[in-house]
Structures are given as C-alpha cells and as structure tokens.
Amino acid sequence: MITLALSKGRIFEETLPLLAAAGISVLEDPESSRKLILPTNQADVRVVLVRATDVPTYVEYGGADLGVAGRDVLIEHGGAGLYQPLDLRIAKCRMSVAVRDDFDYDNAVRQGSRLRVATKYTAIARQHFADKGVHVDLIKLYGSMELAPLTGLADAIVDLVSTGSTLKANRLVEVERIMDISSRLVVNQAALKLKRDQLKPLIDAIASAIPADPAA
Ligand code: PRT
Ligand code: MG
C-alpha cells in the first residue's frame, strides 16, 4: 500500500491533475466526504487528509509514504528525514513583509528601530531579518496575521501573498518579498528504499506532468 498525504483545499485541488498523469484518480471529494482516508482507483494507493502543516510530520514518521507540502511549511518544519525530489510548481505564492499603508517601513529600518513583527512563519522571518541586520521582536500567531498591524499588536507581518487582495482589503502594503513559494513532493526516505518499485514510477509520472515554468 502507498499512502499519500495531502491537505484539503488548494494543494488537494492542484495535485489532482498530477495524480491523473500517473493514472490515479481519488474516488471521493474531501469537501463533501467526512472521511480522512480516501480510496483511489488503484487498490494499492490511498490518500490521507491532514492539516497542511502536518504533512511533513506524517511523511517524516512514515504515517504516509509521500506527501505534498508548501516550501513555507517545509522550511518551518526543518525538512529533517524528508527526501524532496520535485518542485511541483503548484499552490504558488510569495512570502512577504507587509505593513500598514501609513507606516514608513524604510525609515524605521534606516533608523535601526526595533520592529515588532507578527507571523506564523517564525523561522523564515527570523532568518530574513537577521540577514538584513534588523532587530525584531517576533510575535507568533496562528492565524489572521493581517489584523496585527491594524490593532497595534505589531509594526509588520510576514505572511503569504498570492493576489494581494487580502492585504489591500486591510489597508496593508507589501514592502519586501522574502521568497517565492510553491509546493514540493516529499518522500519518506525509508519508504523510498523499501517500496522503490512502486514509488519510483509514481514519482516519475508526477514529474512528467509538472506545469511548465513560465520564466524558463
Ligand atoms: O488553512 P489551514 O489553517 O488549514 O492551513 P494552511 O493555511 O496552512 O493551508 P492552506 O491550504 O490554506 O495552504 C496550503 C499551502 O498553500 C500553503 O502552505 C502555501 O504554500 C500555499 N499557498 C498558496 C497559500 C496561498 N497561496 C495563500 N494565498 N497559503 C495561504 N494563502 C493565504 C495567505 O496566508 C493570506 O491569508 O491567502 C491569503 C492571501 O491571499 P491573497 O490572494 O489575498 O493575496
Ligand atoms: Mg489557509
């Protein structure tokens, strides 16, 4: 049996066409089913639905043989014990710094002010500001980062931006792009050895279906 860990929503939706290229179709819709283990048209392949941030943990400990996770999630997890053979180029966005539209970020940085930064992505934020030599107090949040600068909880946030409409709706502006984000295939290293005959063709078929890089 091969177990693939996916999160509901954009990652599930955007992974389906890649699975189709490998001849795999998921037999139930996670939005209407309450099941957490979904069968596929192949008796020896199943999908488990987990929180996006739990995908690397499932794969690391062998609860799943492979999974799909955002680069953001993988950096925050640390990636230990995970083989990352493919950038799937799906669920694309960017990690950015944003502030209230009336906050002079460049000036605050120039003056060496200590910034209060709210984020769910503390590893990425810590590294980014250390690289810039900017002193920050990081405030860990688990959701609705956009609210932090509006309530005075923080001067800035580090969050994912896709269309930019969430920032705009909350009168925030993107002042720095930290990195481009997309989702990757992650594979349990022991499973790759023990189930190589099943996993290798699956990984190759997925690789052949990755959308073309528009920049290339
Ligand atoms: O939602 P839940 O708390 O269960 O978990 P999650 O938010 O980690 O999962 P999910 O499914 O929302 O995101 C899974 C992965 O999709 C992330 O780890 C990213 O790699 C990727 N991804 C791509 C995004 C976005 N685009 C995105 N726009 N993840 C989140 N967003 C959010 C962002 O945090 C912000 O709140 O959408 C909002 C901004 O969107 P725009 O279009 O208004 O800019
Ligand atoms: Mg979400």
Which atom number of ligand 1 is nearest to the Cα of residue 70?
Answer: 20
**What tens digit of pLDDT does each residue of 115-128 get?**
999 999 999 999 99
Residues 48-92: pLDDT tens digits? 999 999 999 999 999 999 999 999 999 999 999 899 999 999 999
| 118, burial (CB in 10 Å: exposed 0-12, middle 13-18, buried 19+) | buried
pTM given for the model:
0.96
Cα–Cα distance for residue pair 171/165, rounded to 1 Å? 10
Residue with the nearest Cα to atom 4 of ligand 1? Answer: 51
Which one-letter DSSP state was computed for residue 211?
A: P
Alpha carbon of 112 to ligand 2 centroid (Å):
33
Domain 2-91+182-208 classification at class level: alpha beta
CATH 3.40.190.10 domain residues, the chain? 2-91+182-208, 93-180
Ligand 1 center–CA 160 separation, angstroms: 7
Residues lining ligand 1, judged by CB closer than 6 Å? 7, 9-11, 51-53, 70, 72-73, 91, 93, 159-166, 181, 183
Q: Which residue has the tokens 């959308």?
A: 211
Residues 69, 80: Cα–Cα separation, whole Å = 14
* Best CA proximity match to 26, nearest among 42, 14, 3, 11: 42
**Quick one: fold of 93-180?**
D-Maltodextrin-Binding Protein; domain 2 (3.40.190)
- Give the orientation angle of helix 10-21 with respect to helix 196-208, to 10 degrees: 100
Q: Ligand 1: which atom is nearest the Cα of residue 181?
A: 20
Nearest atom (ligand 1) to Cα of 159: 34
Query: Can you say whether the dihedral through the CA atoms of 120, 123, 128, 134 is positive or negative?
Result: positive
CA 43 to ligand 1 center in whole angstroms: 32
Q: Is 92 exposed, middle or buried (0-12, 13-18, 19+ CB in 10 A)?
A: middle
CA dist list (Å): 204 to 2, 83, 84, 130, 186 = 15, 14, 13, 38, 13
pLDDT digits (tens, 9 = 90+) for 110-166: 999 999 999 999 999 999 999 999 999 999 999 999 999 999 999 999 999 999 999
